[in-house]
Structure 1
């Protein structure tokens, strides 16, 4: 249950997967606030144009090789259906190369790093990039927070207003992208505002169209890897739960030493331990590969070996109040609309103490727990299958989040699977023929000649973003 789409219980966010985390600016970069800038508006058409957009505030600017990087804030309605209910500030960034280059609209589906990095589509197109922080991830959270306004249509409407505000500045085509929960967010924006962008590249985006109908996930764990690895992962779960009386006190001591608590979310250390054990195989396949199977502890391994492996793969710190706090908006969305994996865990019958623990509501405070509404995901799935166009889906063969996939139309839309790849699947990991086809399609959508992007890519000092959503802080 991570995202790492978030965890299984979070795709990152997967979680949601899924950015690489803060990357320091190159030493040669210089950063100035808009107030400190020595360039006047008359000498700087771009800055002048940004400042002229109603509701947009330029917070800072950094100069990079080949790019200008802005941190921005945009005034958004708390409720797009009733703008009179007030506003909040949504954080975004702009990586600017030139006003006639394509623009890549990116969201991780979570918060936003303020360190500049380029997504894969930005690199392939040598384009500009607008990165948007998802509403309710701090600091882009209304105060007071009306959690009922955290839904897929409201966030799609946030992005719609941002695109419409910036389009007069940029003459190139727009491509939207995101990985894991960011990929889901890209799909939802396309569903509600299909005219905003010229194409979508959604990486490892789960499609939980009928929440309880999760046989695809169980089928995945019954077939992924080889039999020996699957057996080893089951056995380490069984042994961990059998040794609960010895391992949970260790978790309690670890929590006490680090100031971790459980009372706001999962309730007790024992429940947190069980959740971590349940999540371990999911976490393993989300971030590891078949090459890591030999490191799975044997059934005869010591308590130390099992505890340390669980902590390394699934992280005991994640399922604490402090570890889950950042992901509260994701889990709330999963509980109310997005859905979550419902696995059977047949091999653990008789060892589990908390039926129904493995669900999104377990990971958020009691006052935010809600009933799931199946209609939004059914609507999106129906639209993608029947009406969507210019959508590209990239999945990983060995990624659990890729087990439930979107099915695109034949209207200039495509689905690719990266062989042996986990939640970090992307275009570069596809087989050669698929990689060339996907790259050609993306450049055609964006109106970019095949050679230009590869030629200019070498001159940029901006770090590349591997598109992994975050399941936990990284």
Structure 2
């Protein structure tokens, strides 16, 4: 049995606690309200000292930043349980890309780890603002020492983390605030607004899955029709080749790679099962990240086994579901099995070559010490209902070929224009779809809405720049794509 350990070696709690769990219908705690003007820090202090004086900030370290910015790595003290603060605290990692306190603030979360290098999300570029980025709770090292998983790793607890950070930093950054994130980060941004709708002026979630009913999926129907039929057939042929006639070769190659890199398979039980899970995931992940032009690079029947192996390394490595990787992303897999939901594996075209059907499921990626996990059916239904009926100032972006968009958020029909809630789809787009890829008229309309939420007037330099160029200025030093994982939401 695998030991449940953080990457840094801290032992996690093994047994699930019995008792009430944080569900979506619970009310928010008294975490704090917007600070009065008298609570602001003095402007004659250095910025680092000002940040260090904010409530909850426990450390501030300045690092190298591109010209025109300052960049800080920050730790922030959070309650382990926002309902029971007496249980202790943990340190959560943040980063701050500072431009000017008078500029809008964009709060970004990937829903996973926080990058320790400066970068800008697309909304940050659009408003020419500051960016505060937050690591999701339970991702090492932002993890309590003895966590109670079902009580403390909930969407409400994470939203409360974000709320506390926002309320603290509003003492210094008093202009308009936006939130954003991609994929799980887009989900995180949505959940925060559901529980704390008044914290910010607008939210831009990208490619955010919305698995409302966990056992009723649209993913497989989407995958059966996405893209070109010849490309779908070629992908399936590669999968069947790996799991069928050439399985022994690929399994041996996987074991060799594992031996050379210290890889283990205790969670899934064997290299064979883990390899099969990776192959099942290959089809979904290809469409998640690859434009249709990549169909030309799918190995054909004349490719050697080594060439097929090399191709899988760029889509889903056949060693991808090793213990070391599963443990690194354990908080995500636990939440997927607990509240977020998980999609049905696309196994229809693989009948006859599967030895472990149904293995591609979040509960199987969690160490035995944390099972069984009782799924909370209320959480996603509650958030979905809120977005459809009450969400305001929400702007969703999806890719037309991205399987995660098969179950997307929907603003509903009631007073959508008045609520300023909208969904935008990039035709043929992937999991990396952006506002800049929308048709020009739609892109301009969306950009204008974000600028309005940020409180920017027509005379603001950011507004002028966007109008002049049609899209915000791209800086290669700051605007690299931020993908938390090649084959995860």
TM-score, with normalisation over the residues of structure 1? 0.87
Q: Indicate the residue corresponding to 1:399 in structure 2.
A: 402
Q: Distance in 1 between matches of 2:94 and 2:487?
A: 21
Indicate how the Cα distance of structure 1 residues 119 and 470 shifts in structure 2: closer, same or farther if over 3 A, else same: same
Residues 319-353 of structure 1 show CA distances to partners (whole Å, capped at 9, x for unaligned) of 11122221111101101110111135222122211
2:387 paired with 1:384: yes
Aligned 8 A contact 2:48 2:62 in 1: no
For the 8 Å contact 1:181–1:469, the answer to whether it is kept is no
Compare 371-380 and 129-138 and name the one that shifted more. Answer: 371-380
* Preserved CA contact (<8 Å) 1:178 1:467: no
- Aligned residue for 2:395, secondary structure, equals strand
Structure 2 SS opposite 1:69: strand
Identify which range, 163-172 or 341-350, moves more after superposition.
341-350
Contact 1:283–1:313, Cα closer than 8 Å, also in 2:
yes
Whether contact under 8 Å (2:254, 2:271) holds in the other structure is yes
Structure 1 match to 2:5: none
Counterparts in 2 of 1:270-281, with a 5 A limit? 270-281=272-283
> In structure 2, what is the equivalent of residue 312 of structure 1?
314
**1:137 aligns to what?**
139
What is residue 447 of structure 1 aligned with on the other side? 455
Native 8 Å contact 1:74 1:91 kept in 2: yes
* CA–CA distance in structure 2, aligned partners of residues 169 and 42 of structure 1: 9
- The corresponding residue for 2:291 is 289
The answer (yes or no) to whether the contact 1:178–1:202 under 8 Å persists in 2 is: yes
Secondary structure in 2 matching 1:314: coil
Residue ranges of structure 1 left out of the alignment (5+ in a row): 1-40
Post-superposition offset of 1:472: 6.1
CA distance in 1, matches of 2:48, 2:253: 55
The residue number in structure 2 matching 1:466 is 481
Counterpart of 1:437 in structure 2 is 445
Cα deviation, residue 118, structure 1: 0.7
| Runs of 5+ consecutive residues of structure 2 not aligned to the other structure | 1-41, 467-471
Contact 2:102–2:173, Cα closer than 8 Å, also in 1: yes
Q: How many residues align?
A: 431
1:121 and 1:177 in contact (8 A); partners too: yes
CA distance in 2 between counterparts of 1:463 and 1:163 reads 23
Q: CA deviation at 1:461?
A: 8.3
2:200, 2:328 → 1: CA distance? Answer: 29
For residue 50 of structure 1, what is the aligned residue in structure 2?
51
Runs of 4 or more above 6 Å deviation: none
Aligned equivalent of 2:3: none
CA distance in 1 between partners of 2:156 and 2:330 (Å): 18
Are the aligned partners of 2:110 and 2:184 in contact in 1 as well (CA < 8 Å)?
A: yes
Q: Would the alpha carbon gap of residues 142 and 93 (structure 1) be closer, same or farther in structure 2, given more than 3 Å must change?
A: same
Q: Which has the higher contact order (CA 8 A, sep 6+)?
A: 1
Aligned to 1:418: 426
1:447 positional shift: 0.9
Residue pairs, 1:112-191, within 5 angstroms: 112-148=114-150, 149-191=152-194
Q: 1:246 to 1:465 in 2, by over 3 A?
A: closer
Paired residues of 1:79 and 1:85 also in contact (CA < 8 A): yes
Following superposition, the deviation at residue 72 of structure 1 comes to 1.0
1:66 and 1:460 in contact (8 A); partners too: no
CA 1:267 to 1:469, structure 2 compared with 1: closer, same or farther past 3 Å?
Answer: same
Equivalences for 1:170-249 in 2 at 5 Å? 170-214=173-217, 216-242=218-244, 243-249=246-252
Whether contact under 8 Å (2:106, 2:123) holds in the other structure is: yes
Cα offset for 1:219?
1.8
**TM-score normalised by L of structure 2:** 0.84
CA contact (8 A) 2:401 2:430 kept: yes
Counterparts in 2 of 1:188 and 1:458: CA distance versus 1, 3 Å = closer
Residues 52 and 60 in structure 2, CA contact (< 8 A), matched pair in contact too: no
Q: Distance in 2 between matches of 1:364 and 1:343?
A: 17
CA displacement, residues 118-155 of structure 1 (integer Å, 9 cap, x when unaligned): 11100100011110010011111111232221110000
What is the rounded CA distance, in whole Å, between the counterparts of 1:433 and 1:355 in structure 2? 46
